[in-house]
């Protein structure tokens, strides 16, 4: 990337070129994430607080399986939703299984990966509104091995 930036600094580029270059570098970064995720699953990012630093990408084969339920937007990367130093595999929410109170989740540990459907946790943090309009649901799956995430 640094070599590309050095080379581009020597030529004139207009706004349209910048847009194309931005898309190309984003696609290259996503392709690199796919390679790393398939080889060892060890994608990490800096975090603040008590968040797990691991993230992953959904492979083309996994996405094909998910698309059996309809067309959905695909994220570039999916972050582990568990706290730092959590027990067990990393887990990320992909999307809601249509018409159910369940979600598609991707679990991974190293190269081992599994798409699963889990019901949502169901635990609710009560807000100040007596009608419950500001209540917050736990963002994890039922039976998660760590504190609730609201």
Bridge partners (DSSP) listed for residue 56: 78
Query: Can you tell me whether residue 32 is helix, strand or coil?
Result: helix
Of the given ranges (25-34, 47-56, 65-74), which has the lowest mean pLDDT?
Answer: 25-34
Chain segment 72-87, per-residue pLDDT in tens: 778 878 999 999 989 9
Chain segment 16-40, per-residue pLDDT in tens: 777 777 777 776 766 666 666 656 5
Average pLDDT, the chain: 81
SS3 for 54-69 is EEECCCHHHHHHHHHH
Query: Can you tell me whether residue 102 is helix, strand or coil?
Result: strand
Of the given ranges (57-61, 97-101, 145-149), which has the lowest mean pLDDT?
Answer: 97-101
pLDDT value at residue 3: 65
* pLDDT band with cut points at 50, 70 and 90 for residue 45: confident
Mean pLDDT of the 109-124 span: 90
Query: Can you tell me whether residue 22 is helix, strand or coil?
Result: helix
Contact 133, 76 (CB under 8 A): no
Of the given ranges (14-23, 47-56, 86-95, 121-130), which has the lowest mean pLDDT?
Answer: 14-23
Pick from 116, 29, 28, 132: nearest CA to 65: 116
Pick from 49, 14, 12, 36: nearest CA to 108: 36
Helix (H) or strand (E) holding 78: strand 78-79
Of the given ranges (22-26, 49-53, 122-126, 144-148), which has the lowest mean pLDDT?
Answer: 22-26
Pick from 123, 112, 124, 120: nearest CA to 95: 120
Pick from 34, 27, 71: nearest CA to 56: 34
User: Does residue 56 carry a pLDDT above 80?
Assistant: yes
User: What region does 99 belong to: left with phi over 0, alpha with psi -120 to 50, or beta?
Assistant: left
């Amino acid at each position: 990337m640094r070599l590309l930036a050095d080379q581009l600094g020597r030529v004139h580029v207009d706004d349209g070129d910048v847009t194309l270059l931005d898309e190309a570098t984003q696609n290259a970064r996503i392709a690199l994430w796919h390679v790393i995720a398939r080889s060892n699953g060890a994608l990490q990012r800096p975090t603040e607080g008590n968040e797990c630093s691991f993230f992953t990408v959904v492979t083309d084969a996994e996405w094909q399986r998910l698309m059996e339920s309809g067309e959905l937007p695909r994220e570039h990367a999916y972050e582990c939703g568990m706290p730092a130093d959590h027990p067990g595999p990393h887990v990320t929410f992909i999307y809601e299984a249509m018409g159910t109170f369940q979600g598609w989740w991707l679990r991974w540990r190293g190269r081992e990966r599994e798409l699963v459907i889990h019901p949502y946790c169901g635990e609710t943090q009560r807000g100040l509104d007596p009608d419950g309009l500001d209540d917050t649901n736990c963002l994890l799956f039922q039976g998660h091995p760590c504190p609730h995430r609201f």
